Structures are given as C-alpha cells and as structure tokens.
Structure 1
C-alpha cells in the first residue's frame, strides 16, 4: 500500500490500478465540503475524464492581475502605479486620472483580488455546481 501526503493535508492512500490511485483520505474538519468537492473533481479528472473545464485564459489573466493588484497595494503602490505597470504610462496619461476608466478597472481588480484572498479561492476548488 502506498501513501502520498498532499500539500493541503489530505492523503491519497491505497495501491494503484495502473497509475490511478484507488483511495483518498480526507479529514473531517470545517473544510469538509470544499475538500469533498475537490476530491469529486479529482475523481472526474482521473477516472471519469469528465472534469469541469479549466479556467479560461481571460479569467486566469483577470485573477493574476487581481492578485498582483492586491500585492502592489500591500507594498504601498498607488492605483496609478499599478495601472502604469499593467497598461503603460502613455495609456494612463491619455485620460484624466480622476475619472479614468483605467482607475476604475484597477479598483475593481483590487476588490476582486481581496475577495479571492478572503474566501473566493474556495469557489475555484469547488468548480461548477453539479
């Protein structure tokens, strides 16, 4: 029998059929629904081959920018500095900053990033509702 400890504390257990694990051990804790949903997705990916589609490139890019925005804000960067890093100085200077759509976009990215850090990442683990 083999044991593989996963980073999040769950454990894959058992022998294998081919290269497929036949068991998973999940702790019964407050994260049980999330762990169970992730295990279900793992089952569908490995055994059923019918997992939810991965993140679209657009959603993945938005998530990366949102998390980079939060990192920048925590490091003391202004919305203008973050916008310049994402869109370039010329584009940021092209419209009045106070009413800029780019400023609003960076503010939305900051809010989205904060939400993902606080609890939204669990939605990524859960995938689509079945």
Structure 2
C-alpha cells in the first residue's frame, strides 16, 4: 500500500501471516529514533503486549497551556484587554492600578507572546512533537 500526502510517502508492506518472521527496515536518517520507537511499539502490539507510552502524546500541562493560548487569542481578536482576559482565565480580578506590577501581567505577556507565535507558524512544531530538533 502506498499513501502520498504532499511530500510525505508512507509505504506499508503487509505480508500474509504464514508463521514466518516479519522484519522492519529502518533508514538511518534524521528520524531514525522516531522510527525505532514506532517499530518497538508495533512489535509489542504484535506480541500481545501493551504498546507502552506514546512518545507523541502531549502532556496535560502542555495541553492546558495550548488551551489558554487559544482562549487568549480569541479574547485579543475580540478586542478584550489582557487584564480582562487574565481575570477570566485565572479567576483573579486585578485593578488597573496594580496591573503593571502584578504577576498575572507578566504571565499574560508570556502567554500572549506564545499565542502570537502559534499564529505565526509555531503551531507546526506540534506536528513534530516530541522530536522538534529533526
């Protein structure tokens, strides 16, 4: 079976089960570690064992941060101030006079910067998670 998606080609050869051993060919390229982990998970499943932790799964903290970033973007797009967004997201109202020195001010600045980075193409890094260096 050959599946083409843009520049990515996935080749999967399925042999009929006749009791013979099956092999995996892994190219020694930049994604070798990814391929080894995928092959190991496949081997575990084929042998009736649990596949183990999925290395591509995002942590719950990372998921929470992404959700906060998306909500921040929604608020900023609707013209809501960062102070008001912080009050909604974190459940703490901060007066306008205290805002510039409040810890939520700096947290919102970082969150807004992260969210803006996602809109400028940073979301593509999620597709390479956790293998961002390759």
Q: What band does the TM-score fall into relative to the shorter chain?
A: 0.5 to 0.7
Q: 2:118: which partner in 1?
A: 116
Q: List aligned pairs for 1:1-130, cutoff 5 A.
A: 16=14, 41=34, 43=35, 46-49=38-41, 52=55, 54-88=57-91, 91-93=92-94, 96-124=98-126, 125-128=128-131, 129=133
State the Cα RMSD in Å.
3.7
The 1:103–1:52 alpha-carbon spacing in structure 2 relative to 1, beyond 3 Å, is same
Q: Give the TM-score, by structure 1 length.
A: 0.59
Question: 2 CA distance for matches of 1:17 and 1:56?
Answer: 36
Post-superposition offset of 1:5: 7.8
What residue in structure 1 maps to residue 21 of structure 2? none
**Bigger Rg, structure 1 or 2:** 2
* Paired residues of 2:4 and 2:10 also in contact (CA < 8 A): yes
Q: How many residues align?
A: 110
Taking the aligned partners of 2:54 and 2:79, their CA distance within structure 1 comes to: 40
Residue 93 of structure 1: how far off its partner (Å): 3.1
TM-score, with normalisation over the residues of structure 2?
A: 0.57
Query: CA 1:11–1:76 in 2, change beyond 3 Å: closer, same or farther?
Result: farther
Q: Moved runs in structure 1, 4+ residues, more than 4 A?
A: 2-6, 8-18, 43-46
Q: Structure 2: where are the runs of 5+ without partners?
A: 17-29, 42-52
Separation of aligned partners in 2, 1:71 and 1:56: 23
Higher helix share: 1
Name whichever structure is richer in strand by fraction.
1
